[in-house]
Amino acid sequence: MNLPPIPEIIVALLLLCSGIVVLIAALGLWRLPDFFSRMHAPALASTLAAWLVTFGSILHFSTRGAGLALHVWLIIIVLSITAPVTTIVLARAALFRRRRAGDDLPPPLSTTAEPPAR
Amino acid sequence: MSPLLSWAVTATLLLYVLSMGIGLLRMLRGPSAQDRVLALDFLYVVGMLIMLVLAIRYDSAMYFEGALLMVLFGFVGSVALAKFLLRGEVIE
């Protein structure tokens, strides 16, 4: 019995872990009760799962290509810039819509904050 | 490609497809519009991960550019939809 080379085992483990993490994120998206708690689940897919797949990809292409294959890192950079922006804009849209619908939500900070003491 | 890596890629793709099915259910059922936008954004991210795993499966760097485009278009689409929910206009 011959074992596959060590990098392939690590790549396979990273891929499987990312698949399980994405499944957990999807289950959270399906099971959590409220929109604002549901927003937490997909962040698992866009951070941890993307990091795992990126490390697996870098390892895979570095062991069989020529030199380090760091271009996949670009996806992590772009994703870590764009994912918070999407989340914040979507959360503000949800707050706005639910305030308009008359739900019981905390009031906006700009109208309740005391003026700063001089 | 060793049988172990091939098996792992297949299992990972199956897990991704299962997750996309659950996200699609949430998008079709989602009680409010922002739930649907959130599920669509999740589908974009999982689609991007599928492209990266396919790059390992077929041993080709071409899929990387597709994944990068999916990240960018997913961001633009989700922000445009959220902006529409916020103001009723995308570009003011």
Average pLDDT over residues B35-39: 92
**Contact (CB<8Å) B49/A49:** yes
Mapped onto helix, strand or coil, the DSSP state of residue A103 is: coil
Which positions ≥6 away from B48 have C-beta within 8 Å? Answer: A50, A75, A79, B67, B70, B71, B74
Count structural domains, chain A. Answer: 1
A60-95 core/surface letters (b: 16 or more CB in 10 A; e: else): bbeeeeeeebeebeebbebbeebbeebbebbbebbb
A 1-20 residues with CB < 8 A to B: 4-5, 8-9, 11-13, 15-16, 18-20
Domain boundaries, chain B: 3-87
Chain A residues within 8 A of B32 when measuring between CB atoms: 35, 94, 97
Question: A73-100 vs B33-58: helix axis angle to the nearest 10?
Answer: 170
> Looking at the predicted structure, is the pLDDT value of residue A43 above 50?
yes
Let me know if residue A39 belongs to a domain.
Answer: yes
Instruction: For domain B3-87, give the CATH number.
Output: 1.10.287
Percent of chain A predicted with pLDDT > 70: 86
Q: Are residues A86 and B32, on separate chains, in Cβ contact within 8 Å?
A: no
* Whether pLDDT at A30 is above 50: yes
pLDDT in tens, A61-106: 888 766 787 888 899 999 999 999 999 999 989 888 888 887 777 7
Query: pLDDT per residue over A52-62, tens digit each?
Result: 999 999 998 88
pTM above 0.80, yes or no: yes
Q: Determine the structural domain holding residue A19 and report its residue range.
A: 6-101
Residue A27 CB burial class (10 angstroms; 0-12, 13-18, ≥19): middle
Q: Is residue A110 in some structural domain?
A: no
C-alpha closest to that of A105 among A116, A94, A90? A94
In a domain, A30, yes or no: yes
